[in-house]
Amino acid sequence: MRSSPVAGMVGSAFGAAAAVTRLARPKALHPRGVVAHATLSVTGVGRTGSPLLDITGRWPATVRFSRAVGLPDIVPDIGGMAIRVHADSPVDILLASTGMGPLTRYVLTAGWRTTGRTMTSMFPVRIAGRQLLLAAIPTGDGGTWTLQHATPLGRWETLGRLSVDTWEDDDDNLHFDPVGNRLPGSRYPRLLGALRHPSYPAPDEGPEAT
């Protein structure tokens, strides 16, 4: 799975499926959602190796919640949470609804709600030589999430809190690029980059993304 040819083949398959879906709608995945202006408060107790997550601070953020496949509301769907931190340069973090256990954190879950669900990065990101996953855990008040991190099989540790300031209508032109706008000090897995590139052509590679 780490080889570029295998990743490219799988990514091309995803790209072909996405292209067919675009015949019916502009966005193949996460076609509709809800957007919020939020504040990311970092506690400064993290030991991830990324300055953004390890140094105490407050950052404005834009968050988009969506149903991944875009199924009708009466059908359960995978949840998506995209976070753009407006730091010195934009940082994009993409999360999906999964479990939190050592194994279930790698398994997508389906549900009816767009918000209020546990979200994780599902795939580790290499930061300062370590593989780490990120997670956003709802607190139950409908507008606050605890940001956590963990090693691939390790215990979750709190990094900070994401709080919604205002809710807005969905922005169909809002695109996120976790590869181009990656966390400071991180390396995006080559496999995911190869998978994502053919699956998200022109719209995700425009000026907003880069």
Half-sphere exposure of 154 (CA within 13 A, CB side): 14
pLDDT at position 154 over 50: yes
Instruction: Tell me the pLDDT of the chain averaged across its residues.
Output: 80
Contact 36, 83 (CB under 8 A): no
Query: Once rounded to an integer, what is the mean pLDDT over residues 65-77?
Result: 86
Q: Is the dihedral of CA 210, 202, 35, 76 positive or negative?
A: negative
Tokens of 118: 């546990």
Strands of the chain (E only): list them. Answer: 33-42, 57-67, 77-86, 90-97, 110-111, 119-120, 125-127, 130-138, 144-150, 157-168, 186-187
What does the alpha-carbon distance between residue 9 and residue 68 come to, in Å, rounded to a whole number?
22
What are the distances in angstroms from CA 95 to CA 6, 12, 105, 117?
24, 22, 11, 11
Which is nearest to 170 in space by CA: 31, 27, 18, 24?
31
User: How much is the pLDDT for 207?
Assistant: 38
Least confident of 115-129, 152-166, 186-200: 186-200
Half-sphere exposure of 203 (CA within 13 A, CB side): 17
Query: Once rounded to an integer, what is the mean pLDDT over residues 152-157?
Result: 95
Q: Band the pLDDT of 72: cuts 50, 70, 90.
A: confident
Residue 108 per-residue DSSP state: B
Tokens of 210: 């880069």
Q: For domain 33-187, which architecture applies?
A: Beta Barrel (2.40)
In percent, the amount of the chain with pLDDT more than 70 equals: 73
Residue 206 per-residue DSSP state: S
Across the strands, what pairs with 91? 85
Query: Once rounded to an integer, what is the mean pLDDT over residues 102-112?
Result: 94
Instruction: Give the start-to-end residue ranges of the domains of the chain.
Output: 33-187
- What's the whole-model pTM score? 0.78
For the ranges 92-96, 185-189, 203-207, the maximum mean pLDDT occurs at 92-96
What pLDDT digit, counting tens, does each position of 12-38 carry? 444 444 444 444 445 556 567 889 999
User: How much is the pLDDT for 114?
Assistant: 83
